[in-house]
Amino acid sequence: MTRVIKTDICVIGAGSGGLSVAAGAAQMGARTVLIERDHMGGDCLNTGCVPSKALLAAAKAAYRMNDGEKFGIVSKKARVDFAAVNAHVHGVIAAIAPNDSVERFEGLGVTVIKADARFKDHRTVMAGDNEIIARRIVIATGSRAAVPPIPGLEETPFFTNETLFANDTLPDHLVIIGGGPIGIEMAQAHRRLGASVTVIEGMSVLGKDDPELSAVVINALVREGVVFHERSRVLSVAGGEGKITVIIEKDGFSKKITGSHLLVAAGRTANVDGLDLEKAGIDHTRRGITVDDRLRTTNRKIFAIGDVAGGLQFTHVAGYHAGIVIRNILFRLPAKADHSCVPWVTYTDPELAHVGETETEARERHMKINVLRWSFAENDRAQAERETEGVIKLVTDLHGRILGVTIVGPHAGELILPWVLAKSQGLKVSAMAGLIAPYPTLSEVSKRVAGSYYTPTLFSPRTRRVVRFLRLFG
């Protein structure tokens, strides 16, 4: 028998965005229904951000055991128990899971339904034996690993991020198709844990980032033993458990790569299958659901947020979208999403972080720009910790307005935040240059690069003439 539920908000998908909407709406007094067909917490908690960072942390610990000579410490080669590493990864997931659990959300007053969701009409959602009639609906179904149409792939065992973290045996040779952030992070993690690693990329590795700074990351991985094949097309894959063959083509020549395991990290695709979006009057494309600046779909009573909305696919974007939707739905404010200041980070060692325009983008959009750099080698804290590989790159217009910042180096993901604030608030480079940074910290690289904007003026012949003139009246 079908149970009819009338509610203020129905959220489809219990990933980071959906959970944020559901928690916020319920705590503000709105009747809220949350539908999830799989694991609470979505991709980020179970198969994405959390397990990948936990694996990277283990890999970094193993690597540091072999890296003590520069401090005068005799290194000891790490012995990796990959099954124990896998247990660590799942222990981290388990530690965070209660925050996203059914019990917590029911405690907040949310009605949680574990079932597939599909639209019945413009305001009704079916989920199992439940018919949910909602004043507003939020689609937050996320995305999944894209599987390219490579000949032989369907018959060949392979990992995606959704299955990789179930593996508790260290690959002998991991072949990765895809040189984006996921592929590169997993390449370094597995290499540091003892696997041979080959990365195949059809275009450029980390192609969405500043090529000057992404080259620092790539060179670091090459020194660690990762093999790259850029601008290479995968012709076919074949093989079985423990032996995989990948045929690639570059510049008209083919090459065979043999490995023990295969990871496909070739992008993401929005989860819209089975939702019957057409019954609700919702348009979508291959990229995802079509939304306006307020994240409304073509059915104005229904919103789409996060990965399924087809834009930047980051957990923090989904959380940001949740706030926009709550303001629209609960407070009737015409809040609009602004993606111009969204940061992103690749959590390799060194890390690579970015916000705003790259140098290439800035040159295309502005008549004249300033490009400023400051090396971590000139930072005293970096020298003390022997982590001097890296640079911060600041792009401004001629009036000191911050256009974009890219950082490659230790803790770049942490160091990018003040630049996100500065850009989002329309601050000029003078705001960062005038800060008092604690010494010695890595954060001084931000103050130094900002201060370098004024170097040509401060140390110019004109300034020296002014100083000499004023000295006469001393």
Q: Tell me, what's the pLDDT at 462? A: 81
Over residues 294-339, the pLDDT tens digits come to 999 999 999 999 999 998 999 999 999 999 999 999 999 999 999 9
Query: From CA 381, how far away is CA 437, in angstroms rounded?
Result: 12
Query: From CA 394, how far away is CA 422, in angstroms rounded?
Result: 12
Over residues 366-396, the pLDDT tens digits come to 999 999 999 999 999 999 999 999 999 999 9
The structure tokens listed for 124 are 């009704």
CA 247 to chain centre: 29
Query: From CA 373, how far away is CA 409, in angstroms rounded?
Result: 13
The structure tokens listed for 203 are 């275009």
**Could you tell me the sign of the dihedral formed by the alpha carbons of 264, 14, 87, 63, in that order?**
positive
Burial class (CB in 10 A: 0-12, 13-18, 19+), 69: exposed
Over residues 77-110, the pLDDT tens digits come to 889 999 999 999 999 999 999 999 999 999 999 9
Over residues 33-61, the pLDDT tens digits come to 999 999 999 999 999 999 999 999 999 99
Q: Return the number of other C-beta atoms located less than 10 Å from residue 122's C-beta.
A: 14
426, 402 Cβ separation under 8 angstroms: no
Residues with Cβ < 8 Å from 47, sequence gap 6 or more? 161, 162, 163, 164, 165
Domains of the chain, with CATH numbers?
3-145+269-331 (3.50.50.60), 153-266 (3.50.50.60), 350-458 (3.30.390.30)
- Note the pTM of the prediction, 2 decimals: 0.95
Give kind and range of the element (H or E) at residue 201: none
Nearest to 351 by CA among 176, 220, 192, 158: 220
The structure tokens listed for 25 are 């709406």
Query: From CA 136, how far away is CA 11, in angstroms rounded?
Result: 9
DSSP classification of residue 284 = B
DSSP classification of residue 122 = S
Q: How many CA atoms lie within 13 A of 338 on its CB side?
A: 10
Query: Does 460 score more than 80 pLDDT?
Result: no
Query: Does 464 score more than 80 pLDDT?
Result: no
Q: How many helices (H) and strands (E) does the chain have?
A: 17, 21
- pLDDT band at residue 182 using 50, 70 and 90 as cut-offs: very high
Query: From CA 119, how far away is CA 4, in angstroms rounded?
Result: 14
**Could you tell me the sign of the dihedral formed by the alpha carbons of 14, 178, 217, 350, in that order?**
positive
Bridge pairing between strands 253-259 and 351-356: unpaired
